[in-house]
Structure 1
């Protein structure tokens, strides 16, 4: 028996394109016995509350019937996944179709309801999976989260192999987690697993593919590509008698960067933006954002704008100019000094004798935000926000200023990780890049102290702890959910920890208004970490 796994890019609600892609790849692999597609390939995943709309499910069923009709005279069978209605309830259903008939139908058993997942909101859970007969063989099937459920996998004991269909989003440690759960499933069921995943960017989620076959000995028989469409055909007999294979080595920085590229490319193309616009300051955050944008979209679809003020250093202007030159992108320049004076003069009667403070600093950021949004509005380009996770966590960012934008590539990257990724990109060219060059970011950008340059001689460390310390404290508080006392017990300065925690809690209102961005960690701000804005807990 030959099984083909199809790791493809689907779009939520684009039934026509999704269905045509399914049929095209089915035809290309019609020499197989079974052609397998990822979770909810017909409707696209995740459909979220669209599933609650009867017409959405109805159209999905219509295109499912089209697939059944188009494959009825073929020898190869096909496994697809779609929303399905039965007795008034909506299920996440996997269907094996053979010669125009559904020979096996299975509903998702374990509906995830955590982090970015809320499938219990729109689907009804199916019964616990059981082995079933298919082409004279006893096999099993698991739909995404079912694979993570040891009890569900154990219920398939006695099957010759398991088909696992998935829409599993990327995060930086996800591959290791998948290997762990696949090993758990193989050991619980006592048979190989054929695991297929989709690849695509969908809003803040990126699906990285990385489909694989794990043999009965719990070693990977074959690893498919990451962040690219891919198909592979496997002979079941060869998998059943497989010998141990080597472990797949993952370059974390490469995978993070590829996730940034895919997330941006799909967000821009699937939402019909002509390109992106970025405020280029000469600092590291906007530099990495610009480089990744050109890698993902090409230089012709990226606009860069420098907006210096009286506080912008000569070095920052030179660095921004060099980055733009390296990327082959024209750098537009708007000096904001006149605008600053205009605002200050108009506010003077209201401010009176009040001392200058952060309001004057933030005014510059808001002038820049307004200019960038005006250009976005005029030309239709998507404005990319360039704040990193350290700044967003600490509230070291300006609402309606540098937080302006519709998408972010680095909002889930701590500042120290931004430098790590930038160093990696300077030395490496990722596959699929539309830019052949390396060393795109000047060394001076790495060497100079981070600064918002909103006042004379300003440095980030004037307000924040050193980023090496800040990021470690934030990681413990956010990703690891450690309390103030637990973080202090790790050896950090008591006052520093208290200060960082206060910044983190007090800036929740800003994060609620921030744009979406690529999910990289297990705890990005948003659906994975939900804290109230009005919160007195710190007083206890």
Structure 2
């Protein structure tokens, strides 16, 4: 069990108030900030924050260096009861050389000190005038406050599942940052103490560096920048702080130049990074370990222990968590838990995501169709529902992009015993508006004959010599809770038979349906190519609306929006006496937004059932779900996910559009007879 509940490791990055060349006052300012982050696991402060970065030639003065050492001792003493690892920057004289260094302090002790490796001495920077670079030849230890302290560029700090590497400002801007080597050596939390001044455009590049480094290193990356209290003789420092995780910014502070007025005093940000997710990604991205031969040196690992964290208030220092102790109670997460991980928030990012996905679908289908004979029709069953509509739109735009006539597409509506007038009208209006060829086939007579051939009593009804209309009337009397899998499967397979007999069939089933096995084997499960194969249900509706508003005019646009607002149903069970849809998929399976949340965290992140339930309780879905609903739906997900791998083992080709795919040829290879005992 991880020391940190569900692997959530809390980091605070802060830009404290700074007094230029006054270590004693700076120490008190740092101590004040530590009191504001009492439940963090790491507190990160800027480069040379003990002395101030802008002390210039005062770095050569013995009083400033002595006062900086005294300040470190003061911070260690004042934070002896604080649970976090505290990392601060200071100038440090060692064996006749001066280093720009980072000190790691925990529970009153300086655990180790890491020197800066790359010293900027160009344009506004002049560090080479005062400091020596850490290059591996520095002493392995130094004396500080009467103790021997590890010193060097080969230090990592480990507590439970967190292994921490430290670099300083310019180190990140190099072709091979020290943090890259630290990550290869095992560090999954990377810290950067910085003093980066603000000039036009620099903040964007700084953010890109932090984000990309966290992604390349499959790590968390925290960055604390010096603030505007530094000397402004020639430059202004922005106080920019960032926390990123595997290519995504979790939190960032305001900064000088962000369009708001400057501020006085400290600023800080806090976020939980997910160590379990990072470990999963490193395990599954096997090429990560291929870089191990690049390491230029072994690393010394300094172990330390954090007191247990919990959601309960603390009144006194807690003992460190022993290896065999019960895990601490999970605290509420300090990170956004995306309720819809496949769908960005409305706005430019959502539009860009929809545009990218729709283009991948269209390009994939167009390439496949280009290999067919020119007279080969592209056949699609059009139900008036979301999935078939999205597939049809991809086919239409694929034809448009290749210069093929839209009449190459044959849309077939196949009303059955549960088809509503609403969806039938939507299907007819859509096909007419798009200018494709259309055909309507009433599948009920064929299904009735199939029931008789199977000697089956559909939904308990004795057929005798009933005709279609008599049987349809009899269905109205069937109670809503009566189900019949054969009744549903026959309709699905008849539809597939009719489509397959007409040409190249375009599949419509989506990623969520594949995960849950919500299809009829060798029925709607099968096609010649499926453009929706890795599109989750929660995204389909947005894609239809996106295509409607971007590519189509009235009345097609209105038809598409009407379809996007239709309840999700396979329409295989009878309608109500008033002709309304009675088979609501989400009433049977549970909400699709929950299933897609579970799908992402199982397949993409490899999380445990307990962690997924914990995260779901803290996510903001379209409506609040109680614990019973979450747990019941999660059990449904696992049960159906394991039971239906045999359907996923033989799905048609189709394009991967996001980070999650269940293709047996690509992302997901799972035994069809796997047990879910461990899940």
The alignment's TM-score, normalised by the length of structure 1, stands at 0.51
Q: Which residue of 1 aligns with 2:436?
A: 329
Q: Which residue of 1 aligns with 2:74?
A: none
The residue correspondences of 1:86-105 to structure 2 (distance < 5 A) are none
Q: Which residue of 1 aligns with 2:541?
A: 419
Structure-1 separation of matches of 2:441 and 2:572:
16
Please say if 1:513 is aligned against 2:650.
yes
Query: CA offset at residue 183 of structure 1?
Result: 10
Structure-1 separation of matches of 2:373 and 2:604:
34
Q: Helix, strand or coil: the match of 2:415?
A: coil
The residue correspondences of 1:272-351 to structure 2 (distance < 5 A) are 272=373, 274-298=376-400, 299-348=406-455
Q: 1:429, 1:437 within 8 Å by CA — same for their partners in 2?
A: no
Q: 1:429, 1:436 within 8 Å by CA — same for their partners in 2?
A: no
* Bigger-Rg structure (1/2): 2
Counterpart among 480, 498, 503 of residue 635 in structure 2: 498
Q: Which residue of 2 aligns with 1:368?
A: 495
Structure-1 separation of matches of 2:654 and 2:633:
28
Query: CA offset at residue 261 of structure 1?
Result: 1.0
Q: Which residue of 2 aligns with 1:56?
A: none
Tell me the alpha carbon deviations over residues 53-99 of structure 1, each in whole angstroms, 9 at most, x when there is no partner: xxxxxxxxxxxxxxxxxxxxxxxxxxxxxxxxxxxxxxxxxxxxxxx
Q: 1:278, 1:383 within 8 Å by CA — same for their partners in 2?
A: yes
Structure-2 separation of matches of 1:358 and 1:308:
18
Per the alignment, do residues 437 and 257 of structure 1 end up closer, same or farther by CA in structure 2, a change over 3 Å counting? Answer: farther
What number of residue pairs does the alignment pair up? 300
Query: CA offset at residue 444 of structure 1?
Result: 2.3
Per the alignment, do residues 184 and 506 of structure 1 end up closer, same or farther by CA in structure 2, a change over 3 Å counting? Answer: closer
Per the alignment, do residues 401 and 459 of structure 1 end up closer, same or farther by CA in structure 2, a change over 3 Å counting? Answer: same
> Which 4+ residue blocks in structure 1 deviate beyond 2 angstroms?
179-185, 270-275, 349-356, 435-438, 440-444, 537-540
Query: CA offset at residue 312 of structure 1?
Result: 0.6
Structure-2 separation of matches of 1:309 and 1:183:
50
Query: CA offset at residue 310 of structure 1?
Result: 2.3
Query: CA offset at residue 523 of structure 1?
Result: 2.5
Query: CA offset at residue 320 of structure 1?
Result: 0.3
Mark the runs of 5 or more structure 2 residues left unpaired by the alignment: 1-179, 182-207, 218-347, 401-405, 462-481, 575-581, 618-629
Structure-2 separation of matches of 1:259 and 1:398:
26
Query: CA offset at residue 308 of structure 1?
Result: 0.4
Structure-1 separation of matches of 2:526 and 2:459:
29
Per the alignment, do residues 184 and 494 of structure 1 end up closer, same or farther by CA in structure 2, a change over 3 Å counting? Answer: closer
Tell me the alpha carbon deviations over residues 6-46 of structure 1, each in whole angstroms, 9 at most, x when there is no partner: xxxxxxxxxxxxxxxxxxxxxxxxxxxxxxxxxxxxxxxxx
Per the alignment, do residues 375 and 180 of structure 1 end up closer, same or farther by CA in structure 2, a change over 3 Å counting? Answer: same
Q: 2:492, 2:523 within 8 Å by CA — same for their partners in 1?
A: yes
The alignment's TM-score, normalised by the length of structure 2, stands at 0.41
Counterpart among 600, 603, 606 of residue 475 in structure 1: 600
Query: CA offset at residue 437 of structure 1?
Result: 8.9
Q: Helix, strand or coil: the match of 1:439?
A: helix
Query: CA offset at residue 302 of structure 1?
Result: 1.1
Q: Helix, strand or coil: the match of 1:260?
A: helix
Q: Helix, strand or coil: the match of 1:331?
A: strand
Structure-1 separation of matches of 2:572 and 2:499:
17
Please say if 1:267 is aligned against 2:406.
no
Counterpart among 459, 482, 495 of residue 584 in structure 2: 459
Structure-2 separation of matches of 1:327 and 1:419:
19
Q: 1:323, 1:440 within 8 Å by CA — same for their partners in 2?
A: no
Structure-2 separation of matches of 1:183 and 1:525:
24
Q: Helix, strand or coil: the match of 1:375?
A: coil
